[in-house]
Structure 1
Amino acid sequence: MRLFVVGADPHRERAFSTWPRAGLSVTLADGAGAGGYEHLVDRFHPVEVRDESADVEALTRMAAGHDGVTTLAEGSLVTAATVARELGLPGPGVHAARVARSKARQREVGRRHGLPGPRHSAVTGPDDLVRFFAAGHAAAVLKPLDSAGSTAVFAVRTAEEALDRWPRVQAASPSRTGIVEEYLPGAEASVEAVVHRGEVVFASLTRKQTGGPTGFLEVAHTTALADRPDAAVSALVRDLVAAWRVESAVLHVEVKTDGPRPVPLEATVRPAGDFITELVAAVHGRDLYLDQACLALGLPLPAERQAPARRAEVRFLLASGTVRRTVAPVEVLAGRPDVRNVRQLAPAGCRLPPLTANRARAGYALGWSTDDGESLTGQLRATISDLGTSMGTPDQT
């Protein structure tokens, strides 16, 4: 069977190894991404695929004859869903894709359907920020309306702070629009859900640690066999699926979990990035990329396999300054048997950009263990520390 992929963000190598092993022929259309997956697919089309400027009719002609259409790019959700609809193929639905692309639309749809959420306002210019704070709001979050990866997300407490941050937020938005909303303290997690014809058929929970200079960069993700969505979180995800009219998709939902009731922060109709799919596979035996392909192709979902781990985690290197050297993984892995993968993301000689987006992180370490203890976290912390020191850019977390 043939799968047509409309765009792919970085660090999606697992998808492009999973699909051929499942016997799929993969075509990738992407003239905007920096993933470098051209050599991993059967056919490649270097064309514009971003929602703001894609030629949907041309992409639909390219995809004709394929058995499924999907995307691994946040910026191409609407385009991929539209192509699938035009060809009569399964997908998340154009309505759900449009909601996913706009944080303001997510808030409005949620409000109309009774989902909890922070007080908020769309921002197109300075006057919107002045009005928001004049209404008596204090601690708030200002971020782009339609960007992902914790890009240009800032805590602001006054109109003056917000106005100072606004140019960077606006520059990070494809539509040059932002959203300012009430800050919600507390622990954050994500739910990875498989939705088949509007029904949630699988869900897992991943705990998040955030930090860095902005306080919103993702520092670590942890998935544990003993940690599953509780009844309240599960109900929230089902309500969100209904409100968004999600048809068939792998859904990623970020949630504040420790208030009187869980609150959705944002969600999207594609598999999570940041190697969360790898964590879910290690702990739950569920390959979300294979699920994604089966949903797009209209195939039965695969059975869960025996998983090797009870706990899996990825940690990231947040650093600043100039990278002095390239570090071989073997230099930092000795004596850390549960660390399975470590990678330096910033090349030697480069000066690291400001830490205002997840893409500015300088490296990562990923691993899993067969017990529920904290030994894995300790090994990963030590690996990240040694990686940063060896690169000449000590960890800033």
Structure 2
Amino acid sequence: MTPHLLVIGAGPNQLPAIRLARQKGYRVTVTDFDPEAVGFAEADHHGVISTRDADGTVAFAQRVHEQRPIHGVMTLASESALAVAAVAEALGLPGISVESAWLATHKVDRQRAFREAEVPAPHFRSASALEDGLTAARALGWPVVVKPVDSAGSRGVQLVQDEHQLEAAVAEIRGVSDRAEYLVEEYLEGSEHSIEGVVLDGQIYWAAISDRNYDNKHRHPPYFLEDGDTLPSLVSDAVAASMQQVASQAVRALGIQWGPVKGDLIVTDRGPLVLEMAARLSGDYFCYETIPLHNGINLLDIVMDMAVGQTVPADRLRATSTRGVALRYVWPEPGIVTAIHGVEDARAQEGIHFVRLEPRWQGLAPGDRLQPATSMGERVMSVMAWGKDREEAVRRAERAVATIRIETRGVS
């Protein structure tokens, strides 16, 4: 029987999952709140439903399932673990519990779960009103980091230095989150990293640890702007083992016993601390291009087979190569675009895996307006390079970025 896969989300970030499923011969149904979602045209069937509407997604999945049984449900780069888990539970498909999905999505409850399980993580407080946030910030000590409880891709995340900035940050959070509650965390200095893997047959397998590049971290304060990542990591074997240990503690604290797990960590003078742990595959190319290019492990392919109930041998999670990989972003100055140079020259350079305009900037041309970036999801272009080692990959990526010139003029 041809596997039938439901993919939650049908935007540009989910296209790799939709296309891979079609390549594998799967039947694909997708959902998205956007009636013009690009993935609709590439799927067999679709429904216009918010990726955060778990009840609506379940009702839709049940109707589809009655006509053509669904064998698996998953997402990619979408904060919709709750909808995925609810469908899996309703239809008896492989997945995690709704409770674990909630903990992996709700930033405050996740931190509470970490604290209860003694997972090394930043000190935090929760808040709802502005005054709650002020009390939390005073207790933690300025500056603090504030985050919406339910966003991804750094949207709404800000470094807050004082009471005036906190008021502005809370007002912005109200615009990106439907929930009154928000997270207030201590601000930490240290190297930041991504870690991703799967829970297979009850065992946690970590596919890779990367070094997140924050050379442009404070380019547009108070926002944090990541500038890609690099593999292999520079951390020692001992630190890497410690990072895997605390990341595994986080997975267990959330009760995740199956499927994808994706974390963000910071290494401080207190050791590795867990910033985030999600029950989904990552976006920004990491799980389906960066890691495979680095060591041959394709987490998207693995999780897709797991989702439809296929047996996945553990040896698919063993590295088959070691290669340096560097992802870097292009951050033009805000303003009106006047000229674009060097894109094809950058693509032609040795070791360049790709040079791509990001989805929201497809068709970028002179006359378009670039606003100051407020999250990593607003970068204009991405460059990925490989090399025989980390250093060569970084040189190639940064040379390609330097070749690309997106000229702008300011707006008075």
Q: TM-score, normalised by structure 2?
A: 0.87
Change (3 A) 1:53 1:385: farther
Deviation at residue 329 of structure 1 after TM alignment:
3.9
Deviations 1:205-243 (A, max 9, x none): 011012131352110211228877722112112211211
Q: Structure 1 residue aligned with 2:194, among 186, 190, 196?
A: 190
Cα distance change on mapping 1:330 and 1:38 into 2, 3 Å: same
Q: Is the 8 A contact 2:207 2:297 kept in 1?
A: no
How far 1:327 sits from its partner (Å)? 5.7
> Which secondary structure state, in structure 1, belongs to the residue aligned with residue 270 of structure 2?
coil
**What corresponds to 1:206 in structure 2?**
210
Deviation at 1:252, TM superposition (A): 0.6
For 1:178 and 1:117, locate their aligned partners in 2 and report how far apart those are by CA, in whole Å: 17
Seq. identity, %: 26
Q: Which position in structure 2 is the counterpart of 1:27?
A: 29
Q: Which of 372, 378, 392 matches 1:375?
A: 392
Task: Report the equivalent of 2:134.
Answer: 130
- Larger deviation: 63-72 or 283-292? 63-72
In the comparison of the two structures, how many residue pairs are matched?
Answer: 390
Quick one: distance in 1 between partners of 2:321 and 2:183?
41
Which one of 329, 345, 354 corresponds to residue 316 of structure 1? 329
Q: Secondary structure at the match of 1:74?
A: coil
Q: Distance in 1 between matches of 2:234 and 2:226?
A: 22
Cα distance 1:9–1:247, how it changes in 2: closer, same or farther (>3 A)? farther
Kept in 2, the 8 Å contact 1:7–1:33? The answer is no
Tell me the distance in 2 between the aligned counterparts of 1:90 and 1:61.
19
Q: Does 1:362 align with 2:364?
A: no
1:76 aligns with 2:94: no
Cα separation, partners in 2 of 1:81 and 1:96, compared to 1, 3 Å: same
Deviation at 1:119, TM superposition (A): 2.0
Paired with 2:269 and 2:312, the residues of 1 have a C-alpha distance of: 34
| Cα 1:386–1:12 shift into 2, 3 Å | farther
How big is the shift at 1:357?
1.2
Residues 7 and 18 in structure 2, CA contact (< 8 A), matched pair in contact too = no
Partners of 1:268 and 1:9 in 2: CA distance: 19
Counterpart position of 1:114: 118
Question: 1:93-108 to 2 correspondence within 5 Å?
Answer: 93-108=97-112
Q: Assess, with a 3 A threshold, how the Cα gap between structure 1 residues 202 and 129 changes in structure 2: closer, same or farther.
A: closer
Query: Mind listing any 5+ residue stretches in structure 2 that lack a counterpart?
Result: none
Given candidates 224, 228, 235, the residue that maps to 1:216 is 224
Aligned partner of 2:104: which letter?
A
Report which stretch shifted further, 173-182 or 143-152.
173-182
Deviation at 1:8, TM superposition (A): 4.1
- SS of the equivalent of 1:374 reads helix
Q: Match for residue 266 of structure 1? A: 276
Partner of 2:300: 289
Displacement of 1:23 after TM fit? 2.8
Task: Report how far residue 184 of structure 1 moved.
Answer: 1.3
> Judging changes above 3 Å, is the alpha-carbon distance between structure 1 residues 33 and 331 closer, same or farther for their aligned structure 2 residues?
farther
Residue 344 of structure 1 deviates from its aligned partner by 2.3
Instruction: Name the CA shift for 1:245/1:144 in 2 (closer, same or farther; >3 Å).
Output: same
Q: How many angstroms apart in 2 are the aligned matches of 1:326 and 1:37? A: 28
Aligned equivalent of 1:239:
249
SS in 2 for 1:13: helix
Give the CA deviation at 1:197. Answer: 4.2
Once the 2 structures are TM-superposed, how far is the Cα of residue 152 of structure 1 from its aligned partner? 2.0
Could you say which residue in structure 2 is the equivalent of 1:252? 262
1:314 maps to amino acid: L
Partners of 2:77 and 2:101 in 1: CA distance: 12
Task: Answer yes or no: is the 8 Å Cα contact 2:9–2:31 preserved in 1.
Answer: yes
- Mapped contact 2:326–2:384 kept (Cα < 8 A): yes
Q: Distance in 1 between matches of 2:392 and 2:207?
A: 26
The TM-score, its normalising length taken from structure 1, stands at 0.90
2:42 corresponds to 1:40? yes
